[in-house]
Structure 1
Amino acid sequence: MKIYIVGSGGVGGYFGGLLAKAGNDVTFVARGKHYEQIRAHGLKIKSVLGNFVIKPASVIDDISKINQPDLIFFSVKTYDSEKIAKELTRVITKETIIISFQNGVNNDFTIKKFIKSDNIYPGVVYVISAKTQPGTIEQTGGLRSLIFGDRNHPPSEKLKNIEKLFKESGINATLSDDISRDIWKKFMLIVAFSGITAICRSSIGKVLSDPDTKSIYEKCVQEAIKVAKAFNINVPDDAFDDIMKKSLNTVPNSKSSLLLDIENNRKNEIESLNGMIVKLAKEKSIDVPINKTIYCAIKLLS
């Protein structure tokens, strides 16, 4: 299976590295200095679960160089989804499977606006990883999980084969029977984790160790749960407790990708995070003051 990692940053670089390490046919799509470093020195993975280098690494610097892909691991920033989806229309085949492993709740729908295919699926990522310098991905914490599935049909054989491939590569992969539920379970966590750490300019440990910021964090989660229920998402009864447990068990010095983007003066994903909660809440006439405050503040600071 020819796998292309479209978006070789913290998520794509890390999971692509695991897939390549296991001997799969993996090609990374990268740009600029990141591309140059991977091409010259390989892709370096620094992880609490073990460091390794993919060298030589198959890497290209342009979507147009993709050739007969079987699987596209789609992990670009959400604000680039439309642009990259348009470019992919020229290189994919009718059989190419595209799985979106991105932040947000509707990325597969965005891709489908430009690529008319039944082989586009949403996914969920649980990992704390980032591109710390060109050619290097650093992962902290023990999580390295992928969840994916079909919104409308039971798991197919082709998706079961991909799940098997992921598992054989050391990835904790799950083929979901309710991917919309699982997307929202992650999203309800990430809007609080991203939004509160970003607005406080602090790690998750500092945020949750202070009673006041912890209270705001909890309210942010509760607002997201209310929005999810309004859209008939199958929110588990223990969703709030589960989200808080995951948050409290996160490595204390962890920072969200939203905060890292802000600290490094990069374009960020606030529109698809707290901005999306605000947008969806408005459709259902739901008041989400915490998320709205975060969204407005980060938007002005960006």
Structure 2
Amino acid sequence: MKIGVIGGGAIGLLFTAYLSKSPHDVVLCVRREIQRQAIQTMGLTLNFGTSVYTCQPDVRLLSGRDHGDIDVLIVAVKSYDVEQVMPEIGERFSRTRSILFVQNGMQHLRILPKLQMHSIYLGVVEHGALKESDHSIIHTGLGQTKIAPYLDGHSGFNWEKLSKEDFPFTYQNDWYAMLSEKLHINAVINPLTAILKVNNGALLANPYWFYLMKQVSKEACKVLNIEDHEAWKDLVSVCENTSLNKSSMLRDIENNRKTEIDAINGFLLNAAQQKSIEVPNNQFVYQVIKGMEDHMESRENNG
């Protein structure tokens, strides 16, 4: 079987490295020729604790050719890039049976019906990953990838058989419950740590920031229609288990990159408006992050 991965970021490289340990062929599709050359020349290096693993995946340009030989596909680009790669998926992966999307938030779901010829799965990645370079990835936190069927799961592909010891896949029945749980956690931790410029655990240690967590969390639970007591316990647990980690949104801000705020809190704002629910705290963090993005862009344009 041939497994394709679209995306040369942290998650795409992490999937490629671990899946390369399987007996299946792995193809990594990237959008930049300089990254393709780097991996082709030096291989892809995975660092986890004291272990180092280097593999040599088949690395291709996404737009360079037809990828009809791919049996299953994992789309690991950022949520705001899904729409951009959709034409390539539709045109160049026409014979691929199953496609897994592993983005944060739910904003990208609105465009997935365009892929009705495929079996579509959704995933939640709970691993920590840091892209060190175009050809090197650090596995910073062990977790799992949860997967649920979304559109026409007729292919019946068993994702769990791809599990490795430090990279397990687990099957979920309810995609909405799976995504809403992750969205709630992201909606609280990501914008607050990015605004305050602190690691995840600092939110629990400071009583004023802890209060803000509570307010953003309550609003998110109400919009998503999830039980707030259990959701809060899960949120605190994630903060504790990743206390020294930086959120992906904080890393984006630090590196002057666009964030996924629209896919996370932006999605919540749209859903809240449709349900006539007031979410002032989510509105506030959304506006602050969008303002930070705008400030970065203005600084780059003027600098």
**TM-score, normalised via structure 1 length:** 0.89
Matching residue of 2:275: 284
Structure 1 residue 162 and structure 2 residue 145: aligned?
no
Deviation at 1:117, TM superposition (A): 2.3
TM-superposition CA deviations, 1:214-263 (whole Å, max 9, x none): 2212222221111111xxxx65862221221222221x221111111111
Q: How far apart are the structure 1 equivalents of 2:281 and 2:104?
A: 19
Verify the 8 A CA contact 1:69 1:93 in the aligned structure 2: no
1:118-157 alignment to 2 at 5 Å? 118-143=118-143, 145-151=144-150
Aligned-pair CA distance for 1:265: 1.1
Pairing 1:166-177 to 2, within 5 Å after superposition: 166-168=162-164, 170-177=166-173
Partner residue in 1 for 2:58: 58
Query: Residue 279 and residue 49 in structure 1: after superposition, are their counterparts in 2 closer, same or farther (change >3 A)?
Result: farther
Aligned to 1:190: 186
Shift of 1:62: 2.5
**Deviation above 4 Å: which 4+ runs of structure 1?**
234-237
The whole-number CA distance in structure 1 between the counterparts of 2:216 and 2:33 is: 37
Unaligned runs of 5+ in 2: 294-303
Moved more, 18-27 or 92-101: 92-101
Q: 2:23 maps to which residue? A: 23
TM-score, L = length of structure 2: 0.89
Matched residue count: 291
Match of 1:248 in 2: 240
Is residue 257 of structure 1 aligned with residue 258 of structure 2?
Answer: no
Query: 1:269 and 2:260 equivalent?
Result: yes
Quote the offset at 1:197 in angstroms: 0.9
C-alpha spacing 1:109/1:119, structure 2 compared with 1 (3 Å): farther
| Partner SS for 1:51 | strand
* Aligned twin of 2:297: none
Is this contact kept in 2: 1:14–1:139, CA < 8 A? yes
| 1:215 matched residue in structure 2 | 211
Contact 1:100 1:107 (C-alpha < 8 Å) held by counterparts = no
2:231 to 239, 246, 261: 239
SS in 1 for 2:127: strand
The Cα offsets for residues 13-58 of structure 1, whole Å up to 9 and x where unpaired, read as 112210002232111112244322211101111223733111x221
Distance 2:41 2:186 in 1: 35
Aligned identity (percent) is 28
* One-letter identity of the residue aligned with 1:39: Q
Distance 1:215 1:253 in 2: 20
CA contact (8 A) 2:73 2:96 kept: no
Measure the CA separation in 2 of the matches of 1:248 and 1:218.
15
Deviations 1:197-219 (A, max 9, x none): 11111111223221111221222
Aligned amino acid, residue 156 of structure 2: K
